[in-house]
C-alpha cells in the first residue's frame, strides 16, 4: 500500500492544519478538523465538526463531521451526555459550525487549541 497523510491549508476556512490523505491506488481526501471541510469523490461537505478525547486509560480521539442541521443541533446535548457518563474529557471537546453567510468557521464549544491537529503556528516544538 502506498499512502501519505500530510497537513495542508484548508480550502474553505484557511486553517493551516487540514489533512490531505492520499492513497495513489484508491482515494484522495482532504479534511479539516476546524470547519469540518471534507473533500472526496463520495461525500458532501458537512455543516460542522465535533470531537473529544475519551476519558480513562485508553485516551483515544473521536472526531465526527456533522452533515445535517439536526446533527449540529443535537451535538451540544450529545457532548453534555458524554461528560455526564464519564466517556469524554471536557477539556478536549470542540464543536464547530460553518457559517455560510460570513464564510467562516464558528466555534460553538471550545477553540482551535482543542482540535486534533492544531494550526501550525500554535504547535509547540
- For Zn ion, the binding residues (CB under 5 A) are 10, 12-13, 15, 32, 34-35, 37
Indicate the residue among 20 and 89 with the shorter CB distance to Zn ion. Answer: 20
Query: What residues contact residue 81 under an 8 Å CB cut-off, 6+ apart?
Result: none
Smallest distance from Zn ion to CB 80, Å: 25
Residue with smaller CB distance to Zn ion, 63 or 89? 63
Largest CA distance in the chain: 43
> Which cell is 48 given?
460542522
Question: Is the CA virtual torsion 40, 69, 54, 93 positive or negative?
Answer: positive
Minimum gap (Å) between residue 102 Cβ and Zn ion: 14
Find the shortest distance in angstroms from Cβ 32 to Zn ion: 3
94 bridge partner residues: 51
In the complex with Zn ion, which residue's Cβ is closer, 10 or 66? Answer: 10
C-alpha cell at position 44: 458532501
Amino acid at each position: 500500500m502506498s499512502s501519505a497523510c500530510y497537513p495542508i491549508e484548508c480550502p474553505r476556512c484557511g486553517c493551516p492544519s487540514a489533512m490531505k490523505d492520499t492513497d495513489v491506488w484508491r482515494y484522495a481526501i482532504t479534511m479539516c478538523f476546524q470547519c469540518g471541510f471534507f473533500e472526496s469523490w463520495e461525500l458532501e461537505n458537512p455543516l460542522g465538526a465535533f470531537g473529544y478525547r475519551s476519558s480513562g486509560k485508553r485516551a483515544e480521539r473521536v472526531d465526527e463531521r456533522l452533515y445535517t442541521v439536526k446533527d449540529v443541533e443535537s451535538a451540544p446535548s450529545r457532548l453534555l451526555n458524554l461528560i455526564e457518563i464519564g466517556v469524554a474529557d471536557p477539556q478536549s471537546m470542540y464543536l464547530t459550525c460553518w457559517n455560510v453567510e460570513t464564510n467562516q468557521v464558528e466555534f460553538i464549544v471550545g477553540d482551535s487549541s482543542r482540535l486534533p491537529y492544531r494550526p501550525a503556528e500554535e504547535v509547540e516544538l
